[in-house]
Amino acid sequence: MPRECTAQDTELVTKRNSGQDEDAGAGVRRAAAPRLPELLEAVLSVGSDLDQRATLQQIVDTATALTGARYGALGVLDPVRDRITELYTAGLTEAERLRIGRLPHGHNGVIGLLVDDPQPLRCEDLSTDPRAFGVPPGHPPMHSFLGVPIRVDTEVFGNLYLADKRSGGFDATDTGLLRVLAAQAGIALGNARLYETARQRERWIAGAAAVTTALLTRADATDALTTVAEQARVLAGASAGVILQPTPEGGMEIVTASTPGDPTAIVGTVIEPGSPVLVQLLGGEPVYIDDSASDPRMTTPVRSRFGPSMMLPLQSGGRLIGTLALPRGRGAPPYSAVERTLASQFASHAALALVLADSQHNREQLAVYEDRDRIARDLHDLVVQRLFATEMMLESTRRRGTAPETDELLGRAVDELDSTIQEVRTTIFALQQPPAEAPTTFRGRVLRETGGAAAVLGFQPSVHFTGAVDALVGEPVATDLLAVLRGALAAAHRRAGVSGIEVEVDATVRPPAGGAAVRLVVADDGREADGTRSPTVTWQAPL
């Protein structure tokens, strides 16, 4: 029996309880008989669409038409927080909806009665009922009221509210018709929910597979994290997809962000150590937030931009890689239980894919290093040794005494071989230097400068080292020399006709005043604006 709100309805209930239930029930059935065709048509129409949102709106429209109500609403309840998260209406204009403002949370007035105790409720006049409080200022005035819960299996999915019947107040016939419609709506919503869950799961599985494929075909770690953030943002319908990683100080920093706008405004934001959110994340627990802007656990300055959010740890094999955060915009609906589950599964899958991609990249990089080491050994053991042996034979021939022309020719050949040996040794050193790492030795820093200039010049400058430059040249002499080298290479680039540049670094210079010095010589084959040869840059500093 529905709960009543008037003395007249209370008297009717008392009569039914005193032995007239059967007669009253028969009266309801007789009153409902002329409307059975409408009820059957309504039952058939509800559930004809598997889209959940379309089904919900159809239920509201059908209920208002069946009972002759002026207004109708269907409030969807969140089973976790026991509050209304969505509201579908009929009979309200867009202007009236805007005047009402935010959704009711479901714990005030007659709406709260249905949420707290999901049983049919009928009131004759809301304007005089003391329990009809908490009505927003912009809400249109309403009088007669009828509400019934909608159950999907044993769970209360939401409540159906009707107000202002056009031909008087709602009666027991309306209650019976609405209960039948609510029962059919529960079946239709169960089917729609299963369909929607299956579609969501399919999208998340396809997204996880796309992430795995993308991660295993890309080498750059930043690209990999961006792929995870962007794919998750699209799947979750979030305003941003954010990856955070632990900092040395014990906090977490946003290192990658995917947003429709400018992500640079978010990247670099830090969650300071000691934050309640951080404690949960570092412990491997997900964090779910209804409103980022008002939740006291959120301490970052960007929280004011977002509403509902979930922060999911990216961990695999007990190792925490980072955190995936998916905030929605202000006023957006919170994440459902299904969305939270699917996103958590995606985060676990993405973390495993990141670990596999990192392992694959390390294997590929190791293979490259091994190949480079092999080439360097072959150059040293075969090419350099043979060149050096050839140089020694030519030098020996020259010393035995030959014609002046032959002696000059042999001298040039020896110099060329010596220059070639120096270049091969420089190449061997470059091969032994990891390509993706900044060089730590002075020789490597010089080669990095010339290598960077080669990309602009279109050719590789020739570099010669004399002496143990790595052992002899320290700071700040190395920094000053590199600055001079950088300027000389830039000046050569500005000249016309430059097709070759020679760089010499000699750490065996002995100045007349004594001591030791390092000398840098940079020469090119270009021309100045007046046609003269470009000057040679010479720089020297004591060691």
On whether residue 485 sits in a domain, the answer given is yes
Express each pLDDT in 223-236 by its tens digit: 777 888 888 888 88
At residue 400, the pLDDT reads 66
489's torsion region: left (phi>0), alpha (psi -120 to 50) or beta? alpha
How far, in Å, CA of 444 to CA of 430, rounded?
A: 7
User: Which three-class secondary structure state does DSSP give residue 216?
Assistant: helix
On whether residue 504 sits in a domain, the answer given is yes
327 and 269 part of one domain: yes
Neighbours of 146 (CB within 10 A): 25
At residue 108, the pLDDT reads 64
Which stretch of 235-244, 314-323, 372-381 has the lowest confidence by average pLDDT?
A: 372-381
How far, in Å, CA of 435 to CA of 328, rounded?
A: 41
155 and 238 part of one domain: no
On whether residue 390 sits in a domain, the answer given is no
On whether residue 427 sits in a domain, the answer given is no
What residues make up the domain containing 191?
Answer: 3-197
How far, in Å, CA of 344 to CA of 316, rounded?
A: 13
On whether residue 291 sits in a domain, the answer given is yes
Categorize the per-residue pLDDT at 325 as very low, low, confident or very high, splitting at 50, 70 and 90: confident
How far, in Å, CA of 337 to CA of 474, rounded?
A: 62
How far, in Å, CA of 121 to CA of 159, rounded?
A: 11
At residue 11, the pLDDT reads 35
Strands (E), 25-101: 69-78, 83-90
The stretch 49-78 carries a mean pLDDT of 82
Write the burial class of residue 497 (CB in 10 Å: 0-12 exposed, 13-18 middle, 19+ buried): exposed
Nearest to 200 by CA among 80, 327, 337, 325: 337
Which stretch of 2-6, 48-52, 72-76, 251-255 has the lowest confidence by average pLDDT?
A: 2-6
89 and 162 part of one domain: yes
Phi, psi (deg, nearest 5) at residue 473: -95, 115
Last residue of a domain, one of 314, 348, 382: 348
On whether residue 421 sits in a domain, the answer given is no
Categorize the per-residue pLDDT at 178 as very low, low, confident or very high, splitting at 50, 70 and 90: confident
185 and 272 part of one domain: no
Which stretch of 15-19, 33-37, 188-192, 193-197 has the lowest confidence by average pLDDT?
A: 15-19
Q: HSE, CB side, 13 Å, CA atoms: give it for residue 321.
A: 23
pLDDT surpassing 80 at residue 203 = yes
Q: Of all residues in the chain, what percent carry a pLDDT higher than 70? A: 72
At residue 398, the pLDDT reads 67
At residue 199, the pLDDT reads 85
225 and 153 part of one domain: no
Q: Is the dihedral of CA 454, 455, 456, 459 positive or negative?
A: positive
Categorize the per-residue pLDDT at 221 as very low, low, confident or very high, splitting at 50, 70 and 90: low
Higher pLDDT, 132 or 159: 159
Structural domain count, the chain: 3
Q: Which residues pair with 82 in a beta bridge?
A: none
Task: Write the DSSP assignment of 242-280 as a string of letters.
Answer: EEEEE-TTS-EEEEEEE-SS-GGGTTT-EEPTT-HHHHH
* Distance linking the first and last C-alpha atoms of the chain: 100
185 and 217 part of one domain: no
Radius of gyration of the chain (CA): 40
The stretch 126-137 carries a mean pLDDT of 67
pLDDT surpassing 50 at residue 341 = yes
112's torsion region: left (phi>0), alpha (psi -120 to 50) or beta? alpha
At residue 237, the pLDDT reads 87
177 and 241 part of one domain: no
On whether residue 392 sits in a domain, the answer given is no
257 and 342 part of one domain: yes
Total residue length of the chain? 543
User: Model pTM?
Assistant: 0.51
Last residue of a domain, one of 295, 328, 348: 348
289 and 319 part of one domain: yes
75 and 218 part of one domain: no
Express each pLDDT in 438-494 by its tens digit: 566 788 888 888 877 786 777 888 888 888 888 888 888 888 898 889 888 878 877
Tell me the CA distances in angstroms from 40 to 31, 102, 181, 311, 442, one per residue in order. 15, 35, 9, 47, 88
Last residue of a domain, one of 168, 197, 226: 197
Q: Are strands 252-258 and 241-246 parallel, antiparallel or unpaired?
A: antiparallel
At residue 24, the pLDDT reads 39
CATH number at residue 227: 3.30.450.40
Nearest to 193 by CA among 76, 329, 39: 76
Express each pLDDT in 496-539 by its tens digit: 788 889 999 998 888 888 888 999 999 988 887 777 888 889 99
Position of tokens 């809400």?
139
On whether residue 282 sits in a domain, the answer given is yes
At residue 503, the pLDDT reads 92
Q: HSE, CB side, 13 Å, CA atoms: give it for residue 518.
A: 27
Position of tokens 């840059």?
537
76 and 91 part of one domain: yes
At residue 20, the pLDDT reads 36
CATH number at residue 519: 3.30.565.10
Higher pLDDT, 112 or 205: 205
DSSP state of 20: I
53 and 178 part of one domain: yes
